[in-house]
Amino acid sequence: MQGWVTLALLLSLGVKRSLAQNGLGEPRGLTLNPDLPAQTLSLAWQSDSTLFDLEIFHTEFMNVVLNATVEVQADPVTGLHSWTWHSPLPLECTSHSVRIRARNQQSVSQWSPLQTIPGWDIPEKSYMFPEDKMIPVGSNMTFCCIVNEKEDFKEIKYGRQEMKATRLSRRSYAITVTNQPASDNTGTNVICSSQKFQMLTGTVVFVGYPPGDEGLVCETRDLASAECSWKKGRDTHLRIKQSLTNYTLNGRDCLEANERKTWCSSKMWEENWTLEARNPLGTVQLTDSAQLTDRVHLLAPVNVAAVKVEAWSATLQWSWSVAAYKKLEMVCQLRLFAHELSSTRNYDGPGLSSVVLEGLWPDVDYTVTLRCGSKHSFWKWGDESAPYRIHTKMDRPDALDVWMWMDSSNTGHVFWKPLSVRKSHGALNGYEVSQSSAEEDGRNTVSLPPGNFSYPILLNNSSDVTVAVAARNPAGLSQPSTVTTPAYRADSQLSVSELLGTNGSFVLSWEPNVSASSGYVVEWFPTGCTGLCPIDWKKLPESDRSFTVNSVYTTTACSLCAPLLISDSLVAGVRYTVSVYSLYTSAPTLLQRWQGYSQEMIPSQSVSELSLNQTGSDVLLSWKATEMKQQRGFIRGYTIYLASAAHLDLIANITDPAVQSYRVKGLTLSSYKFVVKAYTSAGEDAGATVAIKMEMDTADMLFVGILVPLGIMFCCIILFSIFFYKKREWVKKAFYPEIPGPKVSGDWSSPRGPLDVKPSPHSLVHIVKNPEWDFTKEGLFPVPEEEEESENDNMEVDTDSDEPALLRYYNQVVGDGSHSNQVSDSSASSTASMGSTQTEITYAGIQSPSSSQGAYSGGGYRPQMQSVTGPAEPQIEFEADFQDDGLNAGYKPQCSWQLDSPEAENFSGSLGSPTSVTSSQFLIPESSEEKPQPSNTWFHNFLSGKS
């Protein structure tokens, strides 16, 4: 055991010996000197070495905050080594400990004993550091919060922003804020809160900028002292009083300067000036250098007054508040303000204190202001005087611009233009118009009130009249302006040229006239105007050969212009008559006249009286042009459109405006709508519309409506006739077959001569007159003898017979009085007849079943009815028959062929035997070839080839 202890001692002694052998002694006397506001720690020690290792700890947790090797030379006087460390953390935040050792390459001495400066986390209170620090924008800074013993740390807020804190010691916490923005007015609050209190403690940091002032300029106002001013630069954001910018001018405090006032004065002028602006964050220096005479800034003139005011001039006086100005060579600027008459004038002289204002206008209110400056080495205009008002006196008006316009050979108006303010020289009282002629002595003078700008002229004879017009104001009468009546020339007497407007104006030029010794007058007015027209004119010197009438040409600058008399401008779409007169001693002579539009527009109205006239398939459109007022441009032609539902189809463009009709040819029968538009160079008008429905004319209608169908009908008849003629045999066979004669067995030949057939008494048909029977009622009716005779003139009739009428009535009504059935149905009457005991003829079983098929029903006589059809059918049948046969319709006993008439049957039957008068058809078989043949119709004859 003793051996081990001995070994350890020997080793220890060996190490010490080796260090001593290196010659590196331990630094001695380490002292720490903290500068809390500056956050610096100054170290001082004694040592023979120059290279040292340094270590700085946060004492409580022994966190190393600095471990560096520094070379520090000893102070030759004191022999102390000094080194200063800038702490990122306020030194109050926690205790700091320092140790140091000497180093020589790899050899080091022993560490010096730890030296500690205590932090503020030892007393039992809450603190926050640093306090009221002022730093530039963008800086980084570490804040620490020391909580008192019984509090639990919660958080640290920088403004409203919660920051992440690190623990420095048991009671100390720190945050580091980087790139800090500029503070508000009273700095940025950094607040430390505990679990118990939201505001345990806190501090304020002021983040801002150093001064940013610039542009120092010094000048003198009184030719002795100096006033220096500069521009305020960037806002420092430092509002705390101790951080406000301080200024010094050439080393002297400039107390009047502050954040708002950026000027400083000096009692004496110095040629070089230096302004220093300083705040806790920095300093800026501004310099200026100038001679006093180069920087004269005069004060404003005082006591400005007009001592003599005339119509055209005034004398202005003023004084100076600085006596030294009286010898200064100065220039003064006088500014005159008046309605439309503002001007600026400069005057110069030594110590200028009065000027004569020339070139003023009479009866005008002027406001005068004055400012002056040094004439030599002019620096800037001095302060301006207070405005001073001058009203000039009145003067006689200027001569009027007069013109005479004749609207007929002996009537006209003299016009004059209103005088402007510049020319009236005072409010006008009125006008005096005097009229004289060569044939009459003396002058007639008329006074007119100021609102008049024309006067009518009446020429009683052929001599020229000269009119003089003068304006009057309180100062007197103007020079009279004379004008002689020009000769009246109607447009019709002249070759009036067409004048095209150019950009809303007329550009005129004319040939020079040798007689125009007094120049020319260009006159323009709306064409067609009479009486008090808006006449305008412009007098031109004799050298002029051209003139432009502008739409903005203003005759005068007056507010009293009568709109009826003086036109201020050319109106678009209005035709103007423009004339050029030459002036000389006598009456003006008309040189040239034009008519034109300054700017053409489309017509405001469409063509009038648009009409059309149809001629066959052509339509003639005709119209009349609109009135000149509505034309609003020269009519260049007309366009004609055919309007459809959706668009207009151009069918003609008439480029000659004199042509006011157009023929549209070859129209078919339909409805048409035509639109006619007049056009100017500006375009077409809206158009007038006319519509027509094409119809055939009378001749066509006659031809087409009557003759053509008639012709076709005749052609058909002829064709049918030819056809039937050619095929008459076939037709005859088809429709009128030969009726075979009765085949009689035995000798039924009768002797030659008349055969009197006396009907059996049983065959008599008793005619029962029915007084109620109406002719209009349907039914069978007796055939008059005359008719029968006339219709059957080829039939042999026994006129001598005593009972001639007995056979004239076939199946006549004798029945039960149901006339309708009887009339409508011949078979019915036959039935009635059958029922009658007085009828000897019995038909039953004779008529073939098909011959009377289908037509008859109902009661009464039905000799050949084989089938019973519906009750309605007979009625229909009858009606058809009735219509066909008309009044001639009679008994149709057994034949279904409609062409047969009872008489025909009768006669046919009687051809063979008079006894068969009742009917022959019932004897004929159903076969068509054996049907009875009518004997007396034209058709029958035709078919038979009889003529």
Partner 1 sequence: MAGRGTNGRHGSRGHAGRTAALARLLHKECIQLLELYRNSESLPSSPVDGGYLVSIPPLVPQLSDAEKISILHAALKECLRLLEDVITREDAEFSDEDSEYKRKWKTVRDRLGHLLASTEQLLVEGQKFEAKVKEELDGQAVSGSFRLKMWIVRVLQDLVHWTGQTSDTLRSLPAEVEKAPKTMSRRTRRGAEKIRK
Of 244 and 620, which CB lies nearer to partner 1 in the complex structure?
Answer: 244
Provide the 10 A C-beta neighbour count for residue 664. 19
Cβ proximity to partner 1: between 158 and 537 the closer is: 158
Closer residue to partner 1, CB minimum distance, 184 or 340: 184
Piece in contact with partner 1 (CB under 8 A), picked from 54-62, 67-75, 127-135, 698-706: 127-135
Q: What whole-number distance in Å separates Cα of residue 728 and Cα of residue 722?
A: 9
Min CB(81)–partner 1 separation in Å: 35
Sign of CA dihedral 679, 684, 686, 691: positive
Residue closer to partner 1 (CB basis): 199 or 706: 199
Structure tokens at 228: 């220096």
Instruction: Tell me the closest approach of the beta carbon of residue 246 to partner 1, in angstroms.
Output: 13
Q: Which of residues 717-756 bind partner 1 (CB under 8 A)?
A: none
- Smallest gap from Cβ 92 to partner 1, in A, equals 11
* Helical packing angle, 708-726 and 728-735, nearest 10°: 80
Verify binding: residue 191, partner 1, rule CB under 8 A.
yes
**Among residues 203, 811, 822, 906, the one that binds partner 1 under rule CB under 8 A:** 203
Q: Does 241 bind partner 1 (CB under 8 A)?
A: yes
DSSP state string for 606-663: --EEEEEEEETTEEEEEEEPPPHHHH-S---EEEEEEE-SS-EEEEEEE--TT--EEE
79/73 Cα distance (integer angstroms): 9
Residue type, 372: C
Q: According to the binding rule CB under 8 A, does residue 132 interact with partner 1? A: yes
Among 32, 168, 204, 465, contact with partner 1 (rule: CB under 8 A): 204
Q: Does 127 interact with partner 1 (rule: CB under 8 A)?
A: yes
| Residues 71-110 as x/- pattern, contact with partner 1 by CB under 8 A | ----------------------------------------
Bridge partners of residue 70, in order along the sequence: 52
Cβ neighbours of residue 683 under 8 Å, at least 6 residues apart? Answer: 602
**At which residue do the structure tokens 């009464």 appear?**
860
Number of residues that bind partner 1 (CB under 8 A): 25
Residue 24 host element (H or E): none
Asked if 239 is part of the footprint of partner 1 (rule: CB under 8 A), the reply reads yes
Short-list 860, 937, 924, CA closest to 896 = 924
Burial bucket for residue 526 (CB in 10 Å: 0-12, 13-18, 19+):
middle
What CA–CA distance (Å, rounded) separates 47 from 104?
12
- Which phi and psi angles does 8 have, rounded to 5°? -60, -45
Rounded to an integer, what distance in angstroms lies between the CA atom of residue 171 and that of residue 191? Answer: 16
Q: Which amino acid is at 947?
A: S
Among 48, 53, 131, 310, binds partner 1 (CB under 8 A): 131
Nearer to partner 1, 185 or 749 (CB): 185
- Closer of 105 and 185 to partner 1 (Cβ): 185
Asked if residue 152 binds partner 1 (CB under 8 A), the reply is no
Tell me the two tokens of residue 748.
């039924």
Stretch that binds partner 1, among 190-198, 261-269, 543-551, 747-755 (CB under 8 A): 190-198
Q: Stretches 76-84, 181-189, 273-281, 478-486: which one binds partner 1 (CB under 8 A)? A: 181-189
Nearer to partner 1 (CB atom), residue 240 or residue 692: 240
Of 176, 189, 315, 818, the one binding partner 1 (CB under 8 A) is 189
C-alpha 178/C-alpha 861 separation (Å) is 141
Contact 901, 885 (CB under 8 A): yes
Q: Least distance (Å) from partner 1 to the CB of residue 201?
A: 8
**Stretch of 34-42, 193-201, 264-272, 760-768 contacting partner 1, by CB under 8 A:** 193-201
* 694 belongs to the binding site for partner 1 (CB under 8 A): no
Of positions 185, 745, 776, 799, contacts partner 1 by CB under 8 A: 185
Nearer to partner 1, 199 or 650 (CB): 199
Any alpha helices (H) in 456-554, and if so which ranges?
none
**Segment near partner 1 (CB under 8 A); pick from 197-205, 481-489, 821-829, 889-897:** 197-205
CA distance 437 to 485: 10
* Binding flag, residue 159, partner 1 (CB under 8 A): yes
Q: Which one, of 552, 568, 570, 566, lies nearest residue 501 by Cα?
A: 570
Based on the shown chain and the rule CB under 8 A, indicate whether residue 289 belongs to the binding site for partner 1.
no
In DSSP terms, 374 is beta-bridged to 330
Q: In the range 254-283, which residues lie near partner 1 by CB under 8 A?
A: 259
Shortest Å, Cβ 190 to partner 1: 8
420, 556 contact by CB (below 8 A): yes
Which of residues 18, 84, 140, 186 is near partner 1 by CB under 8 A?
186
Of 643, 631, 714, nearest in space to 680 by CA: 631
Determine which residue in the list 8, 38, 199, 717 makes contact with partner 1, applying CB under 8 A.
Answer: 199
Residue among 120 and 318 whose Cβ is closer to partner 1:
120
Residue 546's Cβ-count burial label (10 Å; 0-12, 13-18, 19+) is: exposed
> Which residue stretch of 5-13, 178-186, 497-505, 890-898 sits at the interface with partner 1 (rule: CB under 8 A)?
178-186
Closer residue to partner 1 (CB): 191 or 813: 191
Q: Which residue type occupies 840?
A: E
User: Quick one: tokens of 81?
Assistant: 């080594």
Among 12, 31, 140, 198, the residue binding partner 1 under the rule CB under 8 A is: 198
Could you list the residues that contact partner 1 (CB under 8 A)? 127-128, 131-132, 159-160, 184-187, 189, 191, 193, 197-199, 201-204, 239-241, 244, 259
